Structure 1
Amino acid sequence: MSTAKPRAWPPRTTRARATRPRPPAKQTAQIPDAVVGHYARLLNDSGIMPLIDAELGTRPGPPGLPIAAVLTCLLLSINHTGKATLVEAWRIAAFCLSGAARHRLGLPDINPADVHQVLASSRRFYRAFDRLTTVLDPVRHDRRARLPQHQADALAAAWEHDDPAHSRKRQLLQDIVTALVLTPVRWAKGRGYLRHFRGDVGIDTTAAPVFARPPRARRSTGELIASTEITAGWHHSAGNGPPEYGYSATLTVAARTRPALGSFPQLTLGLVLDTPHKRIGANAITTLKPLATLGFPTGFAVADRAYTDQQPGHFAQPARELGYRLALDYKVDQRGVQGSAHGALLIDGSLACPLMPDRLAQATTGLDDAAIRTPSDELTALISAREPYLLRLKQSPNTDGTVRFQCPAAGTSPSLTCPRYDRLHQRGPNRPTAVDLTDTRQRAAHPAAKPRILPPQPEHKTAELPKICQQHTITVSKDDLGHLDKFRQDLPYLSPSWRGTYSAARAMTEGLNGRLKGHDVDLADPKNRLAHGRVAQTILVALLVAVANDHFLDQWRHTHQPPDEPDTPADIFETPAERLDRSPLTGRSRPPPVP
């Protein structure tokens, strides 16, 4: 056994002390004018200030601080500190801007040594933000007091019912959110960075917790008092984590599900903040509608099981009307045979021959999520064996949503042979032809290589047969499946094409959710959004996502476009009338840390 003493640690040298991490300084260094101008331009290009000014109208009294200056300082606060708090934004407005930047934003100069001027400046800053939240709130109330639950419920009803005045306020707030989130997206499209985007999107709902406490009963009287966030609720995620009290943020993400010629920045294309588990499908459609105005193509809309559960008129049918194809997942009790239309079976979202073998039709019935995520070789073989029995698309959806499908035994290249089809449509037996056994395509096209339908014995009468067996094709409207139309999707479930589409889009969606809850910008930390009220929370979340989009765009540009490379050509999906934005992306980078 060694008796050597352990070697002592090296002495603390000056160099070692200099390399230790240090806490950040309490005061941010002066922000460069280029950064201030960048975010002032983002706010100006969003076009929300004319909407806000029109809603404010002519108000009595002093004009107060410009709301545009308050929102610009909030953007700067998110960029530099990751916090969308008024105290950080005011600190930047008061102490971290140059005189020229303050003048351009309309902020008066203050003497930092004069306590009264500093206090008056902060109050004017808070009152300016309060003017904005007041004018956009459908029903104004004291957001600092916890009201009795019955009074809070009466106020929260303004966010639910269809009163025209309240609906107009809610729509105006959503227009502001959409404009903020899409401004970096329009910049990216104008510079040609989204020319490889093919319109595939991932849709998900994530928690946006609030700092307010949930409702509780008073200890003294037992009276139930509401939260200061009267429209918040418990957000239950699909995982095993505990629920979070706050709001649900519906996010639509630019995804890539197919091989493309190049990459494009991963951006948030839509945002809606709402009470948890309410209007899930409608909020997703709200995020999809503005994308048509940007000239983007429509591809696959990939969503999880929360959207599969929505009524067809809330999500599936409006998404198809917008031109999107669906890639969906199912719960355990939703897998397998889900229904029928005109005799064709709806099996895991795809219409199939009514005589598909039961072993294939029930291949996924009762399987849990683990068996679906990591399918066995037997399940993979059964899924592949389903393909010849699936109805083939004959005609894409028309304006009223009807789709035409063809029997798999019909046409010049049938995928299976069916004695019932041959008998009803008087198709004689094929004449024997020579087949080159070395040719893969000839072997696969021969009837002997295709599955053969085994009709029941005794066979049904012609009048009793399903419609799909009596005709070559069937027309399926959006009402033929009723509420089961929410299960219909455009790719065979668990097939290689479905896995490539669904897995890629879900990975990108979860990846962007993780980036929104990262170190620079953390949507999951309620301390980064301390202002009370749904209007304030909605605006602050929109500002967070807008800055995050700006960060993602800047990071992608520095990775994929060398500094000396000129801007790329126009987006191939862009109309000639659009004006390209050729201004360089400068000034967004953060200043170096304070020494």
Structure 2
Amino acid sequence: MSAGDTDHDYSVFARDLGGITQEEVMGRGRIQVALPDVDVQRFEARVRKTGVLERLQDWRAEDSLGEGFGGRPALINDRAILTGMLLANRGEPIFITRLARLFQHELSDASRALLGLEPSFVSFVEHVAEQNRWYSNTHRAFHRMNDLMDPFPQERWRAKTHTEIQQILNAHDSALELTRKARLDEFTKLFLLMTFNEQPRDVRRASRKIDLSFDQTYVGTPTTKGYSKKGLSRKVTEEAATADLRTLPPGPVDAYAGWHVRTGERTDNRRGELDTASPQTKGTTSTNYAWGWEANIAVRVDSEKPGSRRFPALAVAATLSLPNVNVAEEAVSLMRAAKATGLQPGIGDADKRYWANSLVERLHEPAFAEGFTPSTDYRVDRLGVQGGANGALFIEGGAYCPGTPTALQNASIAKSQGTIDSETYRARIGARKAFKLHVKEKADGKGRTMLRCPALGPSPTVTCPLRELLQTRKIADKERPAVDAADLPDFPDKICRQHSASFDEAEMRRTQQAFDYGTQEWDTFHTHARNSIESLNAQIKAGGTEDIQSANRRRVRGMGAAQIIVTILLTNFNLRKIAAFLSDKFKADMRAAGGRPAKPNLIRRRDREFRNPYTDTYPAGVERPDKARPAPSDETGGPPLRT
């Protein structure tokens, strides 16, 4: 054997390592500590609770068209990969190398057997080959799962020319995208639903409704080089005239990402439409735009007792999408996914980018069909009177008497212009409620509801000269606002001439809200809801444990892989949130009990578990052995006297 034959001559490893041990070399400086079996068992059970494993098998069966792929079984299964990802995310990035190290070094033999993994052979001589083998197996296992859900499959090993990007776009299968996007969203839904169900029953059902606050937050790509969809054809033409393509600068890797607008106007394009959001000049790329995706997240909020902390603010639904594309549709997906909790649909709160700017047929009507009612702020151009029907005025989500004083009609406009202060505004909003039409009959199957004049009915809220002669019975005397004769319409319509009039709810759907806009009730809930989603975004974004904004903690490319990892991050975030909530609740109970726990058992441990010879007492539940009682004493220390 030659001295240079390193394939068989292991003497090359017998070298001086200085003060570094072989274990440190094998761990590349990391301390390899085995995880407790109980932790592995707990997270493995949570993976099984999601129901994702069964869905992955179903999707494989769908893709195989009933034919088996053949070959030997996978060395690392889906259950092991998902459990490993939950365990690996302990303040560390979720890298394939991190997963492989966990499988190889940080699991006991019992935990490996639980996850269906083969034993790990630890040998300094063969440790490099062993590490490569675990990495390769882990890499293949992750991508087998990812391939089932990746909406935009493509080669991602190298940078592309713009010509290659155009070819990828031309070869895209839109039907496959829809199928795999639905799978990806179901994957996320099942994991977040599992965390919701991990809460105690009384916390889950603190409210019978599921109220949401949703928004988007940026998720970066591992490769930040992007391209302009508007200028793609021009780039392709320029490359066709280039003699040597090797002279071109490195291009993008991910064809299916987009420009996130950090500041400025954002758009909401339908699927398949050209996204016009792109850097205009080279200098603005790093300052105002970022190449990546958007995480759409819905957090549970409380419309009944805003800010009362009856339950933790969990992420109950999430998806990933291209920037500036299908913003409204992704919001509907969040509401639909949140209904899986089994609670009744409640209120959906969002900023102006959603309810205020979306088309009714894209957001308001689908949300209404799912059972959710909006809560939002209005655009300035939609304050005040926005049309009407049957003589009534449509003002900020409600139908009002045509005789409503002008100052009350334009209260929100005056507040936005700064001509009145907050106190005056609230007073006018409160006074305006008296002029709101009353519901006589709820909406029928055709979406039409019967409303009547606020001066009619058993409990009128205003007095009106047109209605005084129609009163057939005496109403209890109390002070009510009066409609000024000067504010009456010159030609009264149905709402002023009839006992009631029919209104189509669809006509008011754009401005409809759960609470009267501008009231203290609306402001309290809207502030609570916006703070909740902004707080969640701040916790999971840059600088936090999850850090979903930065791609430095997840190197796998593609939107499908990004959503899988973001799902795992949100799952662990929810579990920590629940634990912290229960810890705070326990502390509050301790304070209420005077500084100690609400006594499950206040007997000292030594009295609960051991016999006390001094007091001759035995642990709770243990009977005292029968024995003869000592003879009565004369208290002199001697035997009793005979009598």
Return the alpha-carbon distance in structure 1 between the equivalents of residues 391 and 253 of structure 2: 54
Aligned 1:186-585 pairs, distance under 5 A: 186-188=197-199, 191-197=201-207, 198-216=209-227, 227-236=252-261, 242-259=288-305, 263-308=310-355, 309-365=357-413, 368=416, 376-422=422-468, 426-427=470-471, 446=478, 448-455=479-486, 460-461=490-491, 465-481=492-508, 485-517=509-541, 519-561=544-586
2:36 pairs with 26, 32, 35, which one? 32
Return the alpha-carbon distance in structure 1 between the equivalents of residues 348 and 112 of structure 2: 44
Equivalence for 1:152 = 165
State the one-letter code of the partner of 1:105. Answer: L
Shift of 1:156: 5.2
Matched, 1:96 2:106: yes
Equivalence for 1:120 = 133
Change (3 A) 1:411 1:253: same
Q: Deviations over 1:51-80 (max 9, x none)?
A: 1123234323333321221221111111x1
Return the alpha-carbon distance in structure 1 between the equivalents of residues 504 and 57 of structure 2: 46
What TM-score do the two structures reach when normalised by structure 2? Answer: 0.73
Q: Which runs of 5+ in 1 are unaligned?
A: 1-23, 434-441, 568-595
State the one-letter code of the partner of 1:452. Answer: V
1:44 pairs with 35, 44, 48, which one? 48
Greater Cα shift, 113-122 or 336-345: 336-345
Aligned 1:104-143 pairs, distance under 5 A: 104-108=114-118, 109-111=120-122, 113=124, 114=126, 115-143=128-156
Change (3 A) 1:106 1:339: same
Shift of 1:45: 0.7
Determine if contact 1:332/1:366 at 8 Å carries over to the other structure: no
Return the alpha-carbon distance in structure 2 between the equivalents of residues 381 and 472 of structure 1: 29
Determine if contact 2:316/2:338 at 8 Å carries over to the other structure: yes
Q: Deviations over 1:337-382 (max 9, x none)?
A: 223233322222222222222222222227559x69x953232222
Q: SS of the residue aligned with 1:338?
A: strand
What TM-score do the two structures reach when normalised by structure 1? Answer: 0.78
Shift of 1:142: 0.3
Q: SS of the residue aligned with 2:215?
A: strand
Q: SS of the residue aligned with 1:540?
A: helix
Q: SS of the residue aligned with 2:544?
A: coil
Shift of 1:82: 4.1
Return the alpha-carbon distance in structure 2 between the equivalents of residues 377 and 494 of structure 1: 11
Return the alpha-carbon distance in structure 1 between the equivalents of residues 461 and 30 of structure 2: 71
Determine if contact 1:202/1:506 at 8 Å carries over to the other structure: yes
Q: SS of the residue aligned with 2:298?
A: strand
Shift of 1:422: 3.9
Q: Deviations over 1:482-528 (max 9, x none)?
A: xxx32221322111111122112222222222222353222222212
Return the alpha-carbon distance in structure 1 between the equivalents of residues 515 and 43 of structure 2: 42
Q: Deviations over 1:453-480 (max 9, x none)?
A: 33458x634xxx3332233333333443
Determine if contact 2:188/2:567 at 8 Å carries over to the other structure: yes
Shift of 1:46: 0.6
Change (3 A) 1:384 1:142: same
Return the alpha-carbon distance in structure 2 between the equivalents of residues 501 and 60 of structure 1: 57
Return the alpha-carbon distance in structure 2 between the equivalents of residues 100 and 489 of structure 1: 56
Determine if contact 1:82/1:522 at 8 Å carries over to the other structure: no
Larger RCO of the pair (alpha carbons < 8 Å, separation 6+): 1
Greater Cα shift, 150-159 or 530-539: 150-159
Equivalence for 1:582 = none
Equivalence for 1:593 = none
Q: SS of the residue aligned with 2:387?
A: strand
Identity %: 23
Change (3 A) 1:393 1:317: farther
Q: Deviations over 1:216-267 (max 9, x none)?
A: 4799859898632322222235789944331111111111132389721221
Equivalence for 1:586 = none
Shift of 1:153: 5.4
